[in-house]
Chains A and B, each alone.
Chain A
Amino acid sequence: MEITDRTFEREVLQADIPVFVDFWASWCLPCKAIEGILGELEKEFNSQVKVCKMNVDRNRFTAHKYDIFGLPTYIIFKNGSPIFRDMAAKSKKEFKDIIEKYCL
């Protein structure tokens, strides 16, 4: 799901399940490379974890608030607070391990 500055509060901070937010930009090739994998994980973890994407160029308020300094950066939110963050492309298995470790 693509989220914006305007929907961030509702979709991420107020969500009742853990949220994995991928911060990306159009010019970032690693961001493009993980796009498909995150789409698959969104379906696989369907009701347990929300997988969201946020474009940092178009949503600078949130990008600044969370000090996004490299792309892709991903942050896992639970009950409105960030509990894990990391950056750079990873394999599907690595993403899955992260989600299972911090979200389930």
Chain B
Amino acid sequence: MKSHNAHKTCWNCPAAIFKGNVDFRACGQSMEDIKSIEEGQIVIECARRPELGHFEPSITFEQCPEWIPFPYGLMLKDMRVMILGIDGYLGWTLALKLGNLGFRVSGIDNFLRRDCVMEKGAHTIVPIERMTERLHAAREVLGININFRRIDLKDRNQLKEFMEEVKPESIVHYAEIPSAPYSMVDCTHAIRTQENNVLGTLGLLFLIKDVVPESCLIKLGTMGEYGSPLTGRPLFEGIFPSDAVMHWEGREWSLGGEITPRDPVSFYHVSKVQDTFNVYEACKYWWLRSYDIMQGVIYGVHTDEVSRDPRLRTRLDIDEWFGTVVNRFVAQAIQDMPLTVYGGGEQIRGFIALEDAMECMCRLIVSPPEPGQYDVVNQVSGLHKISVLAETVARVAETYGLDIRIQRLENPRVEADRHPFEVVSTKLPHTLGFTPRVSLETEISRMFELLIKSEIKKRIEEKIHLILPKTRWDGFKRESDILEIYEHGIKKDTGFKPILDT
């Protein structure tokens, strides 16, 4: 079978450097009169095969000797990938996976995540090493050399210097504060989140334009940007399809290609929405290329690489600010604490396991969009209702001899806790060749296997008081009232059913 990216050409390849006749304002704005076909043809030079001279870009990945087979399609030989936020939950995991696959990995981090978690008095329950030890272990265990610099995303001079040195062919942007509750703590936290995320990304876009305009920016957004419309309108992949037609006063228009409404549910989510528009505009103005990933809530602890050695493990947070729901449920189950769902518990969200998300990233990295193209991917492998998710964790917990109760808390957030939810996710399966490999139950079992170890169990116990939410969207700090506690398995799943269109 042909690779998903075999048909892509020099137009998509980061090694193609534009050399002549480039005017991407061709449509309407370029006043230049083109007198011959030749005058209008864009020519490139291949950074990897300069012997080809200047030519019109048309070679496919399949035809090009620089693109070689790997488990997820074709990859550019020794492709240089820079990970921003390489010390985080996803950044570190991706660095090891890419390194193991033969990519040349570089990365920056200012350890902001470690600081934020420490500021809140929490810690990662899976212990992680200092960066120097992590890099050493990556080399010793996997034979990978990671080119790391301690740089703040917002320090543009330092980052520019590093980018000029490395010349990344793909840039994965994980260097954002990833927490809704953290952004809702108070004014300072809201500003810190938006400053880091929005201004950091805006500065990055200028750097990419100046230093490596051919590289692809793979930017982490979130499904939370879309909100959950009560009409049940599907959450399309970034833009409306052409058959979405708006009717008004007897007239109608296609909404095709318009960015779908965003309805963020915290100041953190607002920062991601702002990023969406900044990235989209930069692609349009400067012919940059980007994938904006609307990623579902991520969970899990396993990839082959992080599981190879305790020193290679990635972090796992369970506190109210940085613990995502599945990770938190498993920790609660292990401590015999009722699993806490907020409000009615009928919120539905998109989810994806760590291992699957990393595979998606590999596929995206080797499949860059065209210059100017801003592309959005809904990166989810399943949709789940929170209360049903709690039941699933409870069922798996039973196999470990744990008897689980579920507790409904007054919702500290301002959100619909009962709503329809339909998500379109067709690009990953149909254009990137991705099939989810990890079931929810499989990954939850892997988590129990790891978290039940005595040294980790102890670390959960030490921070158990930080799981229940005290950060409220109304601005007051107080514990949520308990609405109900019930045994798992007694409630029927009623209400809206999630719909995933693939």
Contacts and interface: CB of A to CB of B under 8 A. Distances in A.
Interface of A: 5-6, 23, 25-34, 36-37, 56-61, 63-64, 68-71, 88-92, 94
B336 interface: no
A57 B26 contact: yes
B64 interface: no
A99 B229 CA distance: 35
B36 A88 contact: no
Given A5-B37, A27-B283, A56 B27 contact: yes
A75 to B, nearest CB: 14
Nearest to A90: B254
B284 A6 contact: no
A33 B41 contact: no
A58 B34 CA distance: 12
Contact of B28 (A26, A61, A69, A90): A69
B287 interface: yes
B259 A26 contact: no
Contacts of B27: 23, 25, 28, 56-57, 63, 68-71
Given A61-B36, A68-B27, A29 B254 contact: no
A91 B245 contact: yes
B372 interface: yes
B40 A60 contact: yes
A91 B254 CA distance: 6
Interface of B: 21, 23-24, 26-28, 30, 33-34, 36-37, 39-42, 239-243, 245, 254-259, 283-284, 287, 289, 369-375
Contacts of A63: 26-27, 40
Nearest to B21: A60
Given A33-B257, A90-B254, A26 B372 contact: yes
A6 B23 CA distance: 18
Contact of A61 (B40, B255, B283, B372): B40
A52 B26 CA distance: 19
A5 B41 contact: yes
Contacts of B256: 30, 33-34, 89-91
B254 A61 contact: no
A29 B239 contact: yes
Nearest to B257: A30
Contacts of B28: 68-70
A8 B463 CA distance: 68
A11 B501 CA distance: 37
Contacts of A68: 27-28
